[in-house]
Amino acid sequence: MDSVAYSPAVSYWHSRDPRLKLLVVIVGATLALTENTLGGQLVLFLFHLLLYFTGGLPLGRGWQIFKSFRWLLLITFLLNLWTGSLGAATRYLLRLLNLLLMSSWLLGVTESLTLIKGLELSLRPLRRILPVGEIAMVLGLTLSFFPLLLTEAREIMLAQQARGVNFKTNWVKKMRGLLAMVIPLFISALRRALEIAQAMEVRGYVPGAPRGSLYELAWGKQDSIAFGLILCFVLLWWGAKAFLR
């Protein structure tokens, strides 16, 4: 989980508008998915590394990505080696790494709720056909539900251990312990969901009604400059592709 958690720091990318960062990811991911040469993937990898380090993200985080996805990376590599060449296998490996690096970077330099706000504002033109505000609200609630469930799970575990449920010995007992854990957790999650729904209702939340916002996202000069740089990168990329072809 460390490789996708928000990493609080002061960096160039931390202070950029989430909409810009979303655009960077869309551009980066599109290029990574469509690029079919090893050289191109390598250039993208370097570009993503540049983003990664200008975002002030720690090295250990990069290693975490590698570690958590090692089986996926290894299998992809071996499969492509088997069906294709070493070049193709490396290309696929780099492509995967590019995508992973990109998403880890985005989640590292953007707080989840800011990101959701950015997503909501980016999708606003579609609000006639999509319930954009509600989607953002559900995403935000889902995110804030995780820590709640974790705390609850810990409490239930303690309560069940106090009553003699064993989570540590052999696997039969472990399974039984798990059952004693999952059922109350499920019930409490449902109850909590109802409580939150009630709490939202008493404070006047009406799905679909216009809502204000505590934070306004402000697109600054720095964001425009960064936007220009990204545009230049894409143009250069296309130029170089056309030239090399």
Partner 1 sequence: MEIKLEEISVVYPRKEAPLKALNKVGFTIKTGEAVALLGPIGSGKSTLLQVMAGLRPPTSGRISVHGQEGPIVLSIQEPQRGFFAATVREEVAFGPENLDLDPAEIEARVAWALTAVDLDRDKWETSPLQLSGGEQRRVALASALAMKPGFLLLDEPTIGLDGPGEEALRQTLKRIRTETAIGLVVASHDPDFLFMLTERVLVLVGGELQADTSWGTWAQKAAAVSPDLELPFLLGLLRRLAEAGAPVNAAPETPADAWDELFRLRREGEKGGKG
Please name which of 33, 29, 13, 10 lies closest in space to residue 21, comparing C-alpha atoms: 13
d(CA 93, CA 73) in angstroms, rounded, equals: 6
Q: Taking CB under 8 A as the rule, does residue 166 contact partner 1? A: no
Residue 76 Cβ vs partner 1, minimum distance, rounded to whole Å: 35
Q: Is 71 in the site for partner 1 (CB under 8 A)?
A: no
Least distance in Å: CB of 148 to partner 1? 7
Q: Which two tokens stand for residue 39?
A: 């050289």
* 141 binding partner 1? (CB under 8 A): yes
One-character DSSP codes across 194-240 = HHHHHHHHHTT--TTS----SPPP---HHHHHHHHHHHHHHHHHHHH
Task: Answer yes or no whether residue 134 interacts with partner 1 by CB under 8 A.
Answer: no
Which DSSP symbol is given to 164? T
**List 172, 214, 242, 244, residue binding partner 1 (CB under 8 A):** 214
8 A C-beta contact, residue 157 and residue 185: no
Please say which residue, 72 or 159, places its beta carbon nearer to partner 1: 159
Check binding of 30 to partner 1 (CB under 8 A): no
49 is a contact residue toward partner 1 (CB under 8 A): no
Contacts with partner 1 by CB under 8 A: the residue count is: 29
Determine the Cα–Cα distance for residues 230 and 236; give it in Å rounded to an integer: 10
Q: Which is nearer to partner 1, 144 or 166 (CB)?
A: 144
Please pick, from the candidates 4, 22, 96, 196, the single residue that binds partner 1 as defined by CB under 8 A.
Answer: 196
Among 22, 88, 113, 185, binds partner 1 (CB under 8 A): 113
Among 15, 30, 151, 224, binds partner 1 (CB under 8 A): 151
Helices (H), 110-220: 112-123, 132-162, 171-202
> What is the distance, to the nearest Å, from the Cα of residue 165 to the centroid of all Cα atoms in its chain?
36
**Which positions touch partner 1 (CB under 8 A)?**
111-113, 141, 144-145, 147-148, 151, 192, 195-196, 198-206, 209-216
